[in-house]
């Protein structure tokens, strides 16, 4: 009985009060900690949860800016950006059957294994599968309904002129950034600035809602070039035909507005199609008008004569002893292709006498000739700001030997690019003033710099008219209804420090000669047919382009329509340096 009573008393004994109090306090502390943690995460430091939520349901997408349009001087589009779709994938959201992946690879034209690798690359949240697809191809991808695969709107550059304007305009890369030509030089103006927006995606990785625009894209600005699309086409057609006709290595042509210095046309052959994304040979990408240097040959003689005229060393009718076509300077002989005993200064230009030009050059001090050539823009950039332009070479006169001063008078020992040479002829078209050249349409005529007096420039222009008449080196440059003034060049190419039997044939001229409106410069690199003289190879291309361009511009005639007088083949005057 006692034992049972004791057991009953022990089982009913109450727990100590301190234990319940401790337990209560612990529960309160735990609840307070949870409450504090909740407040901290959701109210004070919610970045972590926000990031995790965004990673699962949201994404920031870039919005490409629309690239500005490039137009010719009349607003005709030369380069435009058209909307296209690009395919991208979020690897962690991909849900696709093997059959869907095979179909996707077939649509995109991708290697199956490469596609699988990209779609399972969990180290990236965003991977492009294929850029810039046409709409019908993008639609086929959408119809597959693959989770984690989405479209992104982008822009692709299109060039309506194709190969006709490729060297001037250049092209853009897959991100619509300029890589060559005007596209590169004016990237800051054309490119604009990309924007971004936040989107929500569903559990299948598909974008279901635009949440907010974080940064609106800034559209690129439009550019109005000085180019005239019709004259550009003419120039391209003629330089291509000349290169192919004379089996030449290459050819270039540039057309300038004689008064404003605006480039109305600039073309090369061979060319390339910038709409074809397969990158061509690097040589084809170069704009030879600006990036390639050549010795200008006899197209330099007018500047030698102008310098001497300005100094009062000669007059147009001054008689020069041309030594029957052979003249020795410093132990080296200078030759004329057509030997003459004497020639006037005007005839030195007309018949392109190397001996006559050399004697005129040597009548001046080296620094006088150098200063005249330097003031004419040789040895420096044209200022058109085209990427890759070469400045040419005009050596320091302190290092000239007499033979070098003599040969420089007819374009040996000096190098130029074609635009630089064309620009120099603005001096004779504008009564002694050198005009700046530009690729951008000008609303206000830019003031040039005076190099020669008006009397000197007009005297040289009169001599240049003799060049295109019978008895000159370029009768094939004549144009029906217009007076023409210009100069031929036929220069041996310099390779390895020696002149070889390969040539650069050129012609630079202006018309109407009474008040020049246009200047056209033509250069044919290594003509390999029977004809290789500038008057035979380059002058006809000049005539065709200049004549058609003057008619397009409705320039009034300054000569009768029966003004063209073609010489017989026996009377054709050749030149060579």
Catalytic site positions: 298
End-to-end CA distance of the chain: 145
Query: Which three-class secondary structure string do you get for 177-238?
Result: CECCHHHHHCHHHHHCECEEEEEEECCCCCEEEEEEEEECCECCCCEEECCCHHHHHHHHHH
Tokens standing for residue 340:
């003459």
Cα 561 from Cα 563, distance rounded (Å): 6
Cα 426 from Cα 461, distance rounded (Å): 11
Cβ-contact 449, 433 below 8 angstroms: yes
398-319-415 Cα angle (round to 5):
35
Tokens standing for residue 409:
């008078």
Phi, psi at 318, each rounded to 5°: -65, 135
Neighbour-count burial of 221, counting CB atoms closer than 10 A to its CB (0-12 exposed, 13-18 middle, 19+ buried): middle
Cβ-contact 265, 254 below 8 angstroms: yes
User: Would strands 223-224 and 70-71 be described as parallel, antiparallel, or unpaired?
Assistant: parallel
**Strand, coil or helix: what is 262?**
strand
Running DSSP on this structure, what letter comes out for residue 325?
Answer: G
Cα 93 from Cα 100, distance rounded (Å): 15
Cα 274 from Cα 157, distance rounded (Å): 9
Cα 519 from Cα 423, distance rounded (Å): 8
**Strand, coil or helix: what is 306?**
helix
Neighbour-count burial of 131, counting CB atoms closer than 10 A to its CB (0-12 exposed, 13-18 middle, 19+ buried): middle
Provide, for the chain, the percentages of residues in helix, strand and coil under a 3-state DSSP scheme, each rounded to the nearest 5. 40, 25, 35
Q: What's the half-sphere exposure (Cβ side, CA atoms, 13 Å) at 535?
A: 27
| Helix (H) or strand (E) segment spanning residue 346 | helix 345-350
Phi, psi at 144, each rounded to 5°: -70, -25
Measured between alpha carbons, how far is residue 518 from residues 286, 426, 430, 549, 557 in Å?
Answer: 25, 9, 11, 8, 13
Running DSSP on this structure, what letter comes out for residue 14?
Answer: P
């Amino acid at each position: 009985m006692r034992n049972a009573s004791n057991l009953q008393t022990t089982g009913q004994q109450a727990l100590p009060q301190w234990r319940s109090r401790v337990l209560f306090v612990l529960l309160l502390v735990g609840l307070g900690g949870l409450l504090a943690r909740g407040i901290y995460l959701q109210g004070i430091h919610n970045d972590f949860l926000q990031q995790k939520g965004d990673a699962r349901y949201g994404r920031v997408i870039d919005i490409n800016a629309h690239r500005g349009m490039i137009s010719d001087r009349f607003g005709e589009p030369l380069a435009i950006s058209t909307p296209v779709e690009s395919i991208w994938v979020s690897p962690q959201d991909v849900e696709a059957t093997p059959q869907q992946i095979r179909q996707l690879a077939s649509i995109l034209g991708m290697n199956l294994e490469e596609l699988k690798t990209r779609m399972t690359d969990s180290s990236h949240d965003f991977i492009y599968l294929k850029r810039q697809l046409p709409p019908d191809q993008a639609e086929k991808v959408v119809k597959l309904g693959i989770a984690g695969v989405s479209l992104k709107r982008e822009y692709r550059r299109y060039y309506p002129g194709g190969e006709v304007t490729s060297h001037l305009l250049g092209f853009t890369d897959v991100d619509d950034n300029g890589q060559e030509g005007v596209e590169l030089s004016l990237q800051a103006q054309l490119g604009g600035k990309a924007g971004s927006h936040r989107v929500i995606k569903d559990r299948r990785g598909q974008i279901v809602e635009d949440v907010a625009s974080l940064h609106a894209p800034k559209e690129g600005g439009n550019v109005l070039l000085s180019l005239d699309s019709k004259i550009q086409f003419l120039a391209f057609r003629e330089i291509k035909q000349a290169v192919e006709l004379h089996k030449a290595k290459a050819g270039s042509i540039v057309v300038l507005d004689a008064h404003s210095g605006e480039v109305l046309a600039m073309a090369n052959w061979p060319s390339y199609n910038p709409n074809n994304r397969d990158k061509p040979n690097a040589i084809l990408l170069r704009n030879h008008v600006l990036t390639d240097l050549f010795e200008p040959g006899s197209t330099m003689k007018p500047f030698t004569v102008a310098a001497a005229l300005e100094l009062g060393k000669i007059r147009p009718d001054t008689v020069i002893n041309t030594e029957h076509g052979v003249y020795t300077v410093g132990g080296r002989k200078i030759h004329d292709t057509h030997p003459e005993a004497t020639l006037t200064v005007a005839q030195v230009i007309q018949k392109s006498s190397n001996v006559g030009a050399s004697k005129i050059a040597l009548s001046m001090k080296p620094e006088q000739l150098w200063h005249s050539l330097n003031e004419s823009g040789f040895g420096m950039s044209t200022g058109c700001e085209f990427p890759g332009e070469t400045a040419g070479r005009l050596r320091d006169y302190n290092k000239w030997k007499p033979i070098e001063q003599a040969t420089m008078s007819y374009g040996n020992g000096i190098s130029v690019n074609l635009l630089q040479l064309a620009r120099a002829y603005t001096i004779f078209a504008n009564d002694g003033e050198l005009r700046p050249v530009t690729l951008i349409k000008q609303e206000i005529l830019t003031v040039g710099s005076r190099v020669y007096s008006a009397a000197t420039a007009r005297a040289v222009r009169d001599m240049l008219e003799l060049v295109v008449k019978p008895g000159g080196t370029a009768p094939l440059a004549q144009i029906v209804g217009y007076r023409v003034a210009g100069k031929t060049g036929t220069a041996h190419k310099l390779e390895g420090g020696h002149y070889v039997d390969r040539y650069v044939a050129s012609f630079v001229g202006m018309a109407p000669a009474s008040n020049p409106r246009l200047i056209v410069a033509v250069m044919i690199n290594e003509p390999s047919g029977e004809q290789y003289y500038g008057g035979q190879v380059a002058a006809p291309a000049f005539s065709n382009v200049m004549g058609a361009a003057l008619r397009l511009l409705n320039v009034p005639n300054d000569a009768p329509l029966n003004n063209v007088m073609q010489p017989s083949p026996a009377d054709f005057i050749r030149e060579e340096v």
